[in-house]
Amino acid sequence: MSEARLWTGGRVFTGRRYVEAVLADQGTVVAAGTETDVRRSAPTGVEVVRLEGRLVLPGLIDAHLHLGDLARFRSGLNVSEVRGLDDLLETIQKWASSHPDGPVVGRGLDVDRSLGGRWPLRGDLDRALADRPLILYHTSGHAAMANGRMLSEAGVDSRPVDELRGRVGKGPDGEPNGLLYEEALRWVAPSLATPVAPEEVVRTLEFLAAFGLTTVASMNVPPEELVELRGLASENRLPVRVRAYVRLLRVAELRPSEIAPAGLSGRFAVVGAKGFTDGAFGPRTAWLSEPYSDASDRDGLAVESDETLAGALKVANELGLAPALHAIGDRAVVRAARLLAPYVRRTGAAARIEHVGLTPPATLSVLETVRPALVVQPGFVWSDFWLPERLGAERVRWAYAFRTLADLGHRLAGSSDAPYDPPDPWRGLRAATERRDPLGRSANPDPREALSCEEAVRLYGVSAGETLGEPSLGSLEAGSRADLIVVDARSLAEAVRVGASAVRDTWVDGARVFSAGGPGPRQSR
């Protein structure tokens, strides 16, 4: 906790309005308003921070990322920037020779951008590395390519044929070609479960604080990782707030004492449980009501049975955990809404659908009756630029339809899904407001779906805070937590245009956790 501090001499966006000054004491916002009014509330000896025309915003919230995977991604083999198959194989060999032990796990493979839409084959990977297990995760996290050694060590080859169907790709010879989808990824996971060092988690959070993030919600957290996060919280080592959503299918392993809220508004709390109802657009596993426009024999995958998901949601609810379901295809969004319906309530952490990729009118009417919170990733509007081919020009008009959803009164929360998309919230803010990326590409360029800068900031602010059941986050009105950022820009529009490099300071509980002038995370960006 900190002493009283007053920010003035620039503009302050509280999340609802613009004011001249904001005062925080003991980690809480005490007043926001005109400089005269705010100074009147200030105790003697208050420290005054001169903004020199800069902008103050509520600290940004990422309502859906994967903290452990992001930490692993940052310290592992990154194949997101490779250009072509030869470059990919060379990158693997180089990394393997400098990391001589254990399986090789690559992340961020963007088949559409890096390899012209063609997956490498098992034989290609065997050429690069045959004597150690190798797996490359698709950038969506919903598919992966494994070499022969990985497939045999995980026993994939020896599974019964009907288990393989739809989950394992086949070559012309009928043998598994190395491609793994959805549930098949879990067959290989045990041999890859590398724990993340606590220092890596802290460094990753420092890296996120440099973007102006002050709260992150980590999804699919396994019970082991909860223990680690709780340890870091009790040692006061979390620079930003972490809200955990445990793996839905593992909730039965949790004891109530492991969930007992660690004090909301603290640095750590277990908020909910998150499961899957379908896959992703990239590998064509998002579950659609009509086949893919570029693969008429496929309409995606429903992940898990309704019985399994409903049973786990019930257990989660009994433990006091808010439910969250991943759903990207329109058919999956309807499925998720029906499964969540018994748990939608007005107070506390919201029942939520993650991604909500495609919402044509029939899906919108189901959402209108159920009204879960919708956790979206504006960055996908740029990343999924190939989506018009997958869905066809007519249907894609309903993809990532933020304006349509907002106008229907749905609560939208902003997030990145990092490491499956870049963690930078400013990229998301810009994609939400401009739709097209700097090269003019977009998953759905329809300008009618663009949000204003203020609306976009609220997605990563008050709206995300309310979704987490903490309305004191993401706002700078009196009574809010003193989580704020100082940005080198005169207006919100300028800040969104400049992006992450404009963040000068990040404050959590009224204490500075990142400074652009200081040493540390800035260099690692």
**Measured from the CB atom, is 276 or 507 closer to Zn ion?**
276
**Measured from the CB atom, is 58 or 275 closer to Zn ion?**
275
Q: How far apart are the C-alpha atoms of 379 and 422, rounded to whole Å? A: 8
Backbone angles phi, psi at 119, to 5 degrees: -65, 145
CA angle, corner 13, sides to 215 and 345, nearest 5?
Answer: 50
Contact range with Zn ion by CB under 5 A, out of 93-101, 143-151, 415-423, 514-522: 415-423
Residues 6+ apart with CB under 8 A from 305: none
Contacts with Zn ion by CB under 5 A: the residue count is: 1
**Measured from the CB atom, is 54 or 247 closer to Zn ion?**
247
DSSP three-state, residue 270: strand
Min CB(141)–Zn ion separation in Å: 7
Min CB(425)–Zn ion separation in Å: 15
**Measured from the CB atom, is 49 or 309 closer to Zn ion?**
309
**Measured from the CB atom, is 120 or 419 closer to Zn ion?**
419
**Measured from the CB atom, is 325 or 450 closer to Zn ion?**
325
Contact range with Zn ion by CB under 5 A, out of 88-96, 104-112, 409-417, 464-472: 409-417
Contact 114, 82 (CB under 8 A): yes
CA dihedral 149, 154, 157, 158 (to 10 degrees): 130
**Measured from the CB atom, is 384 or 417 closer to Zn ion?**
417
Burial of 87 (0-12, 13-18, 19+ CB in 10 A): middle
Contact range with Zn ion by CB under 5 A, out of 44-52, 94-102, 414-422, 494-502: 414-422
Min CB(68)–Zn ion separation in Å: 12
Between the alpha carbon of residue 495 and those of residues 9, 24, 188, 203, the distances in Å are 17, 23, 43, 25
Q: How far apart are the C-alpha atoms of 387 and 426, rounded to whole Å? A: 22
**Measured from the CB atom, is 274 or 397 closer to Zn ion?**
274
The label of the residue with tokens 């998301």 reads: 428
Residues 6+ apart with CB under 8 A from 258: 223, 226, 270
Min CB(436)–Zn ion separation in Å: 24
**Measured from the CB atom, is 32 or 221 closer to Zn ion?**
221
Contact range with Zn ion by CB under 5 A, out of 84-92, 371-379, 390-398, 413-421: 413-421
DSSP three-state, residue 412: strand
- Is residue 156 left, alpha or beta, with left meaning phi > 0 and alpha meaning psi from -120 to 50? alpha
The label of the residue with tokens 């998901």 reads: 309
Question: Is residue 62 near Zn ion by the rule CB under 5 A?
Answer: no
Min CB(301)–Zn ion separation in Å: 16
**Measured from the CB atom, is 326 or 504 closer to Zn ion?**
326
Min CB(274)–Zn ion separation in Å: 8
Which of 388, 281, 387 has its CA nearest to residue 331? 281
Q: What order do you get walking across the sheet with 5-8 strand by strand?
A: 28-33, 21-25, 5-8, 47-50
Contact range with Zn ion by CB under 5 A, out of 36-44, 416-424, 452-460, 492-500: 416-424
**Measured from the CB atom, is 62 or 417 closer to Zn ion?**
417
Contact range with Zn ion by CB under 5 A, out of 52-60, 167-175, 226-234, 411-419: 411-419
Contact 329, 300 (CB under 8 A): yes
CB-based closest residue to Zn ion: 417
**Measured from the CB atom, is 20 or 417 closer to Zn ion?**
417
**Measured from the CB atom, is 68 or 474 closer to Zn ion?**
68
The enclosing H or E element of 214 equals: strand 213-221
DSSP label of 19: E
Contact range with Zn ion by CB under 5 A, out of 18-26, 34-42, 118-126, 410-418: 410-418
The label of the residue with tokens 């496929």 reads: 298
Min CB(64)–Zn ion separation in Å: 6
The label of the residue with tokens 């407001």 reads: 433
Question: What single letter denotes the amino acid at residue 309?
Answer: L
Min CB(380)–Zn ion separation in Å: 11
Min CB(130)–Zn ion separation in Å: 32
- Binders of Zn ion among residues 110 to 149 (CB under 5 A) are none
- Binders of Zn ion among residues 281 to 320 (CB under 5 A) are none
Q: Which of 225, 417, 470, 505 binds Zn ion (CB under 5 A)?
A: 417
**Measured from the CB atom, is 13 or 245 closer to Zn ion?**
245
Min CB(65)–Zn ion separation in Å: 7
Min CB(377)–Zn ion separation in Å: 8
Min CB(131)–Zn ion separation in Å: 33
The string of DSSP letters for 329-360 reads: SHHHHHHHHHHHGGG--SSSSPPEEEE--B--
Contact range with Zn ion by CB under 5 A, out of 73-81, 108-116, 392-400, 417-425: 417-425
DSSP three-state, residue 101: coil
Min CB(417)–Zn ion separation in Å: 4
Contact range with Zn ion by CB under 5 A, out of 2-10, 79-87, 150-158, 412-420: 412-420
Min CB(326)–Zn ion separation in Å: 7
Burial 338-361 (b: 16+ CB within 10 A, else e): ebbeebbeeeebbbbbbbbbbbbe
- Binders of Zn ion among residues 372 to 401 (CB under 5 A) are none
Q: What is the CA radius of gyration of the chain?
A: 23
Window 462-481: contact mask with Zn ion (x via CB under 5 A): --------------------
Residues that bind Zn ion (CB under 5 A): 417
